[in-house]
Amino acid sequence: MRWLFLLPLFLITLQAQQWVIIGHGPLQDVRLNAKEIKAIFLGKKHYVQKRRLSPLNLPPEHPLRTKFEAKVLKMSRTKIHQYWIKQHYLGKRPPKVMASIEALIRYVEAVDGAVAYVPLSSIGKHPIYIWYLP
Amino acid sequence: MRRIIIFITLFPLLLLSAEYRLGEGLQIAESPLYLGGYFSLDYSDELNGSRSLTFNDIALMLYGQEGAWSFMGEAEMNDVYYNQFERNEDTNSSFEVHAERVYVRYQPSDTWRNTLGKFNSPVGFWNLMPINVLRATTSSPLITKQVFPRFTTGLGIDFTVQEAHRLTLLLQATPDLDTLFHDTRAYNNFDIDQHFALGYRERFEQLTLRFNAGYFRERLDQTAWYYGYMALKYNSSLWEILAEAGYRKGADSSQRVLGGYLQVARTVFDNHQLIVRAEGADDDTLNKNDNLLLFGYTYRPLYPVALKSEVQWHPQNNATELIFSVSVLF
C-alpha cells in the first residue's frame, strides 16, 4: 500500500512533463490534431475559425521546444533551420520567439489568434484554452 | 561598378546587426518588413572550349506581412560581370536592375490565396525555388527554361483543400512588369503578353505531385504556344528525388519542345550532398536535341552558403563541362 503515498508525487511529475497547445480566450471550442499543429508551426495553416493565427516559439535551447519539435514537427533542428531559410526566399517568417513560458502565456492571453505550446502545469487560472492535449 | 561597391559595403553591415543570422533576412527596425537577398559567382570550363567567370544574380528582396496581406519586392542584376577567357576573350558588365518579383498577396483563409503582380510561375518544383543557393546544382535542367514562362505578371489564384490538394489558376493579359522600366526584352525566358494556365498539386507524406497545362503568347511576334508539365518530388531525411517532364507545342505550327529530367540527391555527411541528374530536351525551335548526364557535389559550410561543383557530359558530341559556383543567401 506504500505506493499509494507515491501516487500524488507521480501525478505531479506527470503534469509537469505534460505539454499542451493553448490558444486565445475567444476561441474556446477549438480542437486541433497533431497534423494541424505541425502545419500551423510550419506556416502552412494560418486560420482557425476564421481567425488568423500567430504561432509562438520558445527560445531554441528550451527543452520544451526541443520536445515539441521532435514529437509534433518530427524534424531535426537542422531540417527546421533549412526549412525556414527556404521560406525566407518565399517571404515567410518563422514563429515569433518569446523569452519564457510566462511570456508565452501573457502573449496568448492578450493577442487574438496567438497559439503556443506550454506545460500543462503552467496554465493555472489563466483565461486561456487548451486546443490540443497529446 | 559603383553599385557593386555599394552592395559590398552594405552586405557586411547586415552581418554586423545583433539580431541577424545569415540566410534569415534582417528585420527593419520593429516593422513587419524584412530585407534579404542573394548572389552567385559561377565559373564554367568547357573542356576543349571556352572558360568563363560570371558574377550572376545579385538580388535584393524586401518583404512583409500584416494580417492576411503580404508583399514581396525583389530587384535583381543579372550577369553583372562576365568574362570569357582564351580564344575570343570577352568581358561584359551590366548593371541594369530588373524587377524579378513584385507582388501583393491576399490570403483571407486557408482555402483561398490571391497573388497580384509579377511572381514565379508555379509550374513544377524547380521554378519555385530557382536561385542557385537553394537548388541542388549550379546549372538548371534545360526544360525548366524551355517549356513555360518562368515568370507571370498578372493574377494567381490558389484554391487549397485540406492543405494536400491545391488548384492554381494563372491569368496574365499584359506585358511583363519589367517592360515598364526597360524598353528592351522583358526579364523572363519568354517575352510574353498573355499567359493562362491551370495547375494541380497533390501532397502525400513525403511525395508531392504537380500537373500544369497552359497557353502563352510571345509579345513581339505574337507566336502562341500550349504547354503541359508534370513533376514529382520525393523527400526523406537523406534523399531528395526530383523528376519533371514538359511539352510545348506551337498553337499555329507543328514546332514542339519536349524534354525531362530525373535528379537524385543524397546527403552523405552533414552539409555534403551528392547529385546525379540525367536529362534530355528536343527543341524544334532551336533545331537542337541535347542529352546530358550530370554529377554534382555540394558543400554547405552553413546552409545559406553553397560551394558547388558539377561535371556535365553531353554524349552527342562527347563534350564535357565543369561548373563551379559560390552562392550566398542573406
Please provide the average confidence, as pLDDT, over all residues in chain A: 86
Residues of B in contact with A59 (CB under 8 A): none
Q: How far is CA B38 from CA B2, B10, B96, B166, B207, in A?
A: 18, 13, 16, 29, 29
Give me A108's grid cell. Answer: 496568448
H/E segment holding residue B15 = helix B2-16
Is the distance from CB of B94 to CB of B77 less than 8 angstroms? yes
**Beta-bridge partners for A100:** none
CA–CA–CA angle B41, B35, A114 (5° rounding) = 135
3 state SS of A64: helix
Residues of A in contact with B65 (CB under 8 A): 91-93
Instruction: Please report which confidence band the pLDDT of residue A129 belongs to, taking 50, 70 and 90 as the band edges.
Output: confident
Q: Note whether B235 contacts A: Cβ–Cβ < 8 A.
A: no
Q: Do A89 and B329 touch (CB under 8 A)?
A: yes
Give me B144's grid cell. Answer: 525548366
Which residue ranges make up each domain of chain B? 2-329
Q: Tens of pLDDT along A68-127?
A: 999 999 999 999 999 999 999 999 999 999 999 999 999 999 998 999 999 998 888 777
Q: Do A88 and B23 touch (CB under 8 A)?
A: yes
- Give Cβ neighbours of residue B263 (< 8 Å, ≥ 6 apart): B136, B137, B141, B241, B242, B243, B275, B276, B277
| Smallest Cα distance from A52 to chain B, Å | 7
d(CA B153, CA B187): 11
Mean per-residue pLDDT, A23-51: 89
Give me A64's grid cell. Answer: 520544451
pLDDT value of residue B14: 56
d(CA A16, CA B292): 59
Residues of A in contact with B205 (CB under 8 A): none
In this structure, what is the dihedral angle of CA atoms A20, A25, A30, A33, given to the nearest 10 degrees? -20
Nearest-Cα residue of chain B relative to residue A39: B163
Q: Looking at residue B117, what DSSP letter applies?
A: E
Residue-wise pLDDT tens for chain B (330 aa)?
555 555 555 555 555 555 788 999 999 988 999 999 999 999 999 987 888 899 888 999 999 999 999 999 999 987 777 787 766 677 777 788 899 999 999 999 999 999 999 999 999 999 999 999 999 999 999 999 999 999 999 999 999 998 899 999 999 999 999 888 876 677 899 999 999 999 999 999 899 999 999 999 999 999 999 999 999 999 998 999 999 999 999 999 999 999 999 999 999 988 999 999 999 999 998 888 999 999 999 999 999 999 999 999 999 888 999 999 999 999
What backbone torsions phi and psi does residue A41 show, to the nearest 5 degrees? -80, -10
Nearest to B24 among A39, A46, A88 (CB): A88
Nearest to A93 among B23, B34, B67 (CB): B34
CA–CA–CA angle B290, B100, B223 (5° rounding) = 55
Q: CATH homologous superfamily of domain B2-329?
A: Porin (2.40.160.10)
**Beta-bridge partners for B14:** none
Residues of B in contact with A91 (CB under 8 A): 34, 61, 63-65, 70-72
The ipTM assigned to this model is 0.90
Nearest to A84 among B24, B71, B163 (CB): B24
Give me B74's grid cell. Answer: 525583389
Residues of B in contact with A87 (CB under 8 A): none
CA end-to-end distance (rounded Å), chain A: 31
- Give Cβ neighbours of residue B326 (< 8 Å, ≥ 6 apart): B40, B41, B305, B306, B307, B308
Q: Do B65 and A44 touch (CB under 8 A)?
A: no
**Beta-bridge partners for B160:** B166
Nearest to B134 among A79, A84, A89 (CB): A89
Q: How far is CA B48 from the centre of its chain?
A: 29
Mean per-residue pLDDT, A30-40: 92
pLDDT value of residue B272: 97
> Amino acid identity of B29?
A
3 state SS of B270: coil
Which residue, B38, B159, B177, is CA-closest to B103?
B177
Number of Cβ within a 10 Å radius of residue B184? 10
Q: Do B110 and A45 touch (CB under 8 A)?
A: yes
Q: Note whether B134 contacts A: Cβ–Cβ < 8 A.
A: yes
Give me B80's grid cell. Answer: 553583372
Is the distance from CB of B243 to CB of B126 less than 8 angstroms? no
| Smallest Cα distance from B1 to chain A, Å | 26
Number of Cβ within a 10 Å radius of residue B94? 12
d(CA B246, CA B281): 9
In this structure, what is the dihedral angle of CA atoms B277, B241, B261, B249, given to the nearest 10 degrees? -160
Instruction: Please report which confidence band the pLDDT of residue A35 belongs to, taking 50, 70 and 90 as the band edges.
Output: very high
Q: B45: exposed, middle or buried (C-beta count within 10 Å: 0-12, 13-18, 19+)?
A: middle
| Smallest Cα distance from B269 to chain A, Å | 13
